[in-house]
Chain A
Amino acid sequence: MRTDPVPLDGLNLPTPKQEEWKYTNLARALAPELLNQKPLVREEIFIHKSRGQIGGEVEDILCEGAQGQHQQPRLKIVIEDGAEATVIERHTGSGAYWTNMTTEITVGANAKLHHIRIMEDSAQAVHTNMARVTIGRDAVYDCFSLNLGGALTRHQIHAVLQGPNITCSLNGLNLLAGGQHCDTTILMEHEAPHCVSNQFYRSLLDDTARGVFQGKVHVHRPAQKTDAYQLSNAILLSPGAEMDTKPELEIYADDVKCSHGATTGPLDEGPLFYLRSRGLSAAEARMLLIQAFVDEAIEKIPEEAARDEARGKALAWLTTRLK
């Protein structure tokens, strides 16, 4: 799988003919005026924690898009050996714009980074993000994406587990309606032994929204005792909604534990009937089940304030959607 960023000049855009872009047609989503627009290259956002630096404030970054803009922010996070940080990245905006972002993250040996993305781009926005994450031995990296906004968003993550005993978790919750399209494409590369990686994504899709989950785990020959897991669960709230899932495993080591799973479908009738037989109305039962589904994803956010915030946003979404 290739993990190239979307070309910054807006020329030679990837097309669905390329395997890794099979389910996402970027060119079709981009208005011509955005493509012809000279990109506004933003200054790099740089977060740096020096060796052993722990207990600092949460880094809270806001990135806003405006009508007609084609912007190319770059986010660079360097967490040196033994340091710890929490970064919250927020995206909002108004009108039609294209944010084509690159993220470069380095997590040093025995370092820890909690990364939370709250994606609330405008309903007409296109957001593409290529994140490259390199992780050193004994380190922890986790990323949670709450995807609520954007006409089309794509989060592409290429994580490279370079040393032994790393824990890397990529999680997300997609709450999509209207004609929204959200693509998560992951390449998890296990290069060293005794690492654990998790991918856990949940999607609620209403109207004609479409979700894409492509997750690949590549276990290189030296990466013995790898424990890799990937799971995508999607609930389709309307017959017009669609989910495309493509989990992949490519394994060259012979002593590993790798598994993947994917479910897509409407809400199960069994639990609905069980709850109704205990006095809950159909609407109350649906709400309880869907809230539980969403909450199991939100529980993955390691930082309490961010978790509460995400829970509040998800609840607001559910209340307007499920009446």
Chain B
Amino acid sequence: MIEIKNLKANVNTDEGPKEILKGLSVSIKPGEVHAIMGPNGSGKSTLSYVLAGREDYEVTDGSVTMDGANMLELEPEERAAAGMFLAFQYPVEIPGVNMSMFLKTSINAIRKQRGEPEMDALSLLKLLKTKCKQLGISDEMMKRAVNVGFSGGEKKRNEVLQMALLEPKFCVLDETDSGLDIDALKIVADGVNALRDPNRSFLIITHYQRLLDYIKPDVVHVLADGRIIKTGGPELALELEKHGYGDIIDAVA
């Protein structure tokens, strides 16, 4: 169970701290897929960074718990080991570190934190091969530096690959559909759907309804000005697509 309660957070700007999240609450049961939709500037990316623990953001109030454990007092790497995963909107390029080296280091870093033994090279190789095949990722891509020279689709597929390898309890997908054409979107969505599991929760943060055609949410929230202003079923996403955010924001205001 993921519980975000009355979350308030500032971003540090040159003109001092600015409040972006103004009391956001969402709870996600195991196995559920929630979508958060909102216009630009509503706080979508801030939410994903705050959940993952980026330092430029300051939480001023509220809590985030995963199965009762307070996530906000953990370092980013400890959150990862606890089972939280953020699929980045803009996956970062890491020149000089190749994919297989990166994945191996990541898997073993998490195992180490959990007090598990390192995975041996052969098992790792097998695991990588299986997961790559499922996502249509070539061996050649494994030899390239992380995200360097990757197309938009390759970057997002790489995020889903990491998600599949790390087997988190709670996946946050930040605008995973941005920069993807329909074919790439479908591959990425299939990858995510394959990971749906009664013990895994998803939070899909998106501007457009399109992604939700492929990954069916159980609950849809509308985020505006740092708060959830409306919650409903999948039909809410369709309503938003039809009438835009304006109607709902006006209706609430």
Contacts and interface: CB of A to CB of B under 8 A. Distances in A.
Interface stretch (A123-131, A144-152, A278-286, A312-320): A278-286
B55 A273 contact: yes
B86 interface: yes
B166 A279 contact: yes
Given A276-B77, A284-B109, A292 B53 contact: no
B88 A274 contact: yes
A60 interface: no
A170 to B, nearest CB: 20
Interface in A277-323: 277-282, 284, 288-289, 291-293, 295-296
B35 interface: no
B80 A279 contact: yes
A281 B95 contact: no
A281 B92 contact: no
A273 B81 contact: no
A260 B13 CA distance: 32
B151 interface: no
B109 A279 contact: yes
Given A269-B55, A273-B76, A278 B106 contact: yes
B106 A279 contact: yes
Contact of B96 (A273, A279, A280, A296): A296
Determine the main DSSP class of A at the interface with B: helix
Instruction: Kindly name the residue among A270, A275, A284, A289 whose own CB sees the greatest number of chain B CB atoms within 10 A.
Output: A275
Contact of B92 (A270, A280, A288, A293): A270
A292 B94 contact: yes
Interface string B47-60: 00000111110000
Given A273-B54, A284-B109, A278 B80 contact: yes
B77 A292 contact: no
Nearest to B88: A274
A273 B107 CA distance: 16
B76 A277 contact: yes
Given A273-B54, A273-B55, A288-B105, A279 B77 contact: yes
A275 B102 CA distance: 9
Contacts of A269: 55-56
Contacts of A288: 97, 105
Contacts of A280: 77, 105-106, 109
Contacts of B95: 292, 296
A271 interface: yes
B97 A281 contact: no
Given A274-B91, A284-B109, A293 B77 contact: no
B250 to A, nearest CB: 37
Instruction: Kindly name the residue among B79, B85, B94 whose own CB sees the greatest number of chain A CB atoms within 10 A.
Output: B94
A282 B77 contact: yes
Contacts of B93: 271
A281 B113 CA distance: 9
B76 A293 contact: no
B109 A271 contact: no
Contacts of B75: 276, 281-282
Contact of A274 (B53, B79, B81, B92): B92
Contacts of B79: 277
Contacts of B102: 278
B162 interface: yes
A140 to B, nearest CB: 25
A276 B105 contact: no
Contacts of B222: none
The 8 closest A-B pairs by CB, nearest first: A292-B96, A279-B110, A279-B109, A274-B92, A276-B76, A278-B106, A279-B80, A280-B109
Given A281-B77, A292-B94, A292-B97, 13 more contacts: A269-B56, A271-B92, A273-B76, A276-B53, A277-B88, A278-B109, A278-B162, A279-B110, A280-B105, A280-B106, A284-B105, A288-B105, A289-B94
20 contacts: A269-B55, A274-B91, A274-B94, A276-B53, A276-B77, A277-B77, A277-B79, A277-B85, A278-B77, A279-B77, A279-B81, A279-B109, A279-B110, A279-B113, A280-B105, A280-B109, A281-B77, A284-B109, A288-B105, A289-B94
